[in-house]
Amino acid sequence: MDRIRIVGGNELNGRIPISGAKNAALPLMIAALLTDDTLTLENVPHLADVEQLTRILGNHGVDYSVNGRRESQQEGYSRTINLSARNIVDTTAPYDLVSKMRASFWVIGPLIARMREARVSLPGGCAIGTRPVDLFIDGLQALGAELDVDRGYIIASAPKGLVGNRYVFPKVSVGATHVLMMAASLARGETVLENAAREPEVVNLADCLNKMGARIEGAGTSTIVIQGVEGLSGARHRVIPDRIETGTYAMAVAMTGGDVLLEGARTDLLETALSVLSDAGAEISTEQRGIRVKRNGNGIKPVDVTTEPFPGFPTDLQAQFMGLMTMAQGRSQITETIFENRFMHVQELARLGAHISLSGQTATVDGVATLKGAQVMATDLRASVSLVIAGLAAEGETTVNRVYHLDRGFERLEEKLSGCGAVIERISA
């Protein structure tokens, strides 16, 4: 398995291009199942999760090409892809494909809406808590689907099609909001989703669905109203910049010091995280080409953070922020409210010399003057990258083992960081 070797201690200076958002690209790709026309998506990041989803969509019969060519002919940064679900040949999403990535479960929404049936394996994905699917089941049932769980699969059917309804999410869920928005687009009549997720990725999906002919209002607020339509057409749509990648590199700069322009990044996608970072002592400015992050001379100040659904501080930046706080001048508390088991990076950060104690869902971090390089193990996607940025700031050499998690969510990580002066390389197994 590949490893990443880092020699820490260098400031980051220069520019980092921000890729298209993985968490926006995945639901947008799944939306291709709603139409027999071609959906063209621009700025799709080149990531293992995207590749995995193309395999899952391919299994349903979706034809996939990159810039008009087959995928294997293209390598590199975010690309334009074409997806055509003219012929859906299979409404089953099998275990061996779905178990590798939780978001692939979301095909259940478009399949039940367009094909009136779906058989989808219960999901896998990052090991960060139990991550049930009860909200998907309840929500689709509210739209008239019949659902059963049988031998690890959800069997869904709606022989007469879905029917619009009012559904109040008992808990904010990004995935269930995506799925119900897609399903309701092809339901008969009006659907009102309350306590919906307000994440920018939900807005990006709603904009695309509206270009395809859907009638969705209110995305980005907690009440989304959808008037069902008979069919959807193709469209061309752009994936928003990755706010988690943006926040991750911003935290890396805050940690190592330096001056980096995050090209293409959008402040409005992560205002809370940026304001926390400036409280911690980073200088953040919005420029025409992106967001500039600087930290020169002054130390890192401790800041308490609680993760929340958007527009709160994102859980997907919690591990990285904890990395930053390990070198703060004092004590900070980080509380995780979204996932119950998202502190696996704590013991690995401790290997680098961090002082962190855990009590329930709160981590208390006592900043240390220096971290020292060590061998660490990547556990989930965001935890892995927190170890990378801690390694960049640590004295000496850090090796991050099991980096396949990083490839799921960070496009050309080593290249982007070494372009700014980091000493980082991949050691292939």
d(CA 91, CA 59): 9
Nearer to ligand UD1, 59 or 173 (CB): 173
Work out whether 45 is an interface residue with ligand UD1 (CB under 6 A): no
Which residue is associated with the tokens 């269930």? 176
Q: Work out which of 173, 191, 204, 332 binds ligand UD1, going by CB under 6 A.
A: 173
Nearer to ligand UD1, 48 or 133 (CB): 133
Q: Which residues pair with 236 in a beta bridge?
A: 40
Residue 126 is a catalytic residue: yes
Q: How far apart are CB 125 and ligand UD1 at their closest, in Å? A: 7
Which residue is associated with the tokens 């008969």? 188
DSSP 113-160: HHHSEEEEEPP----SS----HHHHHHHHHTT-EEEEETTEEEEE-TT
Pick the stretch among 114-122, 129-137, 210-218, 264-272 that binds ligand UD1 (CB under 6 A). Answer: 129-137
- The answer to whether 323 touches 387, Cβ cutoff 8 Å, is yes
Work out whether 30 is an interface residue with ligand UD1 (CB under 6 A): no
Site string for ligand UD1, 84-103 (x = CB under 6 A): ------------------xx
The Cα-based distances of 200 to 25, 46, 296, 424 in angstroms read: 12, 20, 31, 31
Q: Which of 48, 81, 126, 392 is catalytic?
A: 126
Work out whether 166 is an interface residue with ligand UD1 (CB under 6 A): no
Q: Work out which of 29, 66, 107, 135 binds ligand UD1, going by CB under 6 A.
A: 135
For ligand UD1, the binding residues in 302-361 under the rule CB under 6 A are 315-316, 338-339
CA-based max dimension of the chain: 66
Nearer to ligand UD1, 64 or 136 (CB): 136
Work out whether 191 is an interface residue with ligand UD1 (CB under 6 A): no
CB burial of 264-284 (b: ≥16 within 10 Å; e: otherwise) equals bbbbebbebbbebbbebbbeb
Q: Work out which of 87, 90, 127, 132 binds ligand UD1, going by CB under 6 A.
A: 132
Q: Is 155 exposed, middle or buried (0-12, 13-18, 19+ CB in 10 A)?
A: middle
Q: How far apart are CB 408 and ligand UD1 at their closest, in Å? A: 10
Work out whether 174 is an interface residue with ligand UD1 (CB under 6 A): yes
Q: Which residues pair with 293 in a beta bridge?
A: 260, 284
Nearer to ligand UD1, 26 or 154 (CB): 26
Nearer to ligand UD1, 173 or 185 (CB): 173
Written as one letter, the residue type at 299 is G
Pick the stretch among 126-134, 278-286, 326-334, 399-407 that binds ligand UD1 (CB under 6 A). Answer: 126-134
Nearer to ligand UD1, 173 or 398 (CB): 173
- The answer to whether 188 touches 163, Cβ cutoff 8 Å, is yes
Site string for ligand UD1, 103-122 (x = CB under 6 A): x-------------------
| Residues ≥6 apart with Cβ < 8 Å to 68 | 82
| Residues ≥6 apart with Cβ < 8 Å to 333 | 304, 305, 362, 363, 364, 365
Nearer to ligand UD1, 201 or 348 (CB): 201
List the one residue out of 54, 406, 41 whose CA is nearest residue 240: 41
Site string for ligand UD1, 201-220 (x = CB under 6 A): x-------------------
Pick the stretch among 125-133, 204-212, 284-292, 417-425 that binds ligand UD1 (CB under 6 A). Answer: 125-133
> Whose CB is nearest to ligand UD1?
175
Residue count at the site for ligand UD1 (CB under 6 A)?
21
- The answer to whether 100 touches 53, Cβ cutoff 8 Å, is no
Residues in the chain: 429
Start-end of H helices in 186-258: 200-211, 243-256
Which residue numbers are catalytic? 126
Q: Which residues bind ligand UD1 (CB under 6 A)?
A: 23, 26, 102-103, 129, 131-136, 171, 173-176, 201, 315-316, 338-339
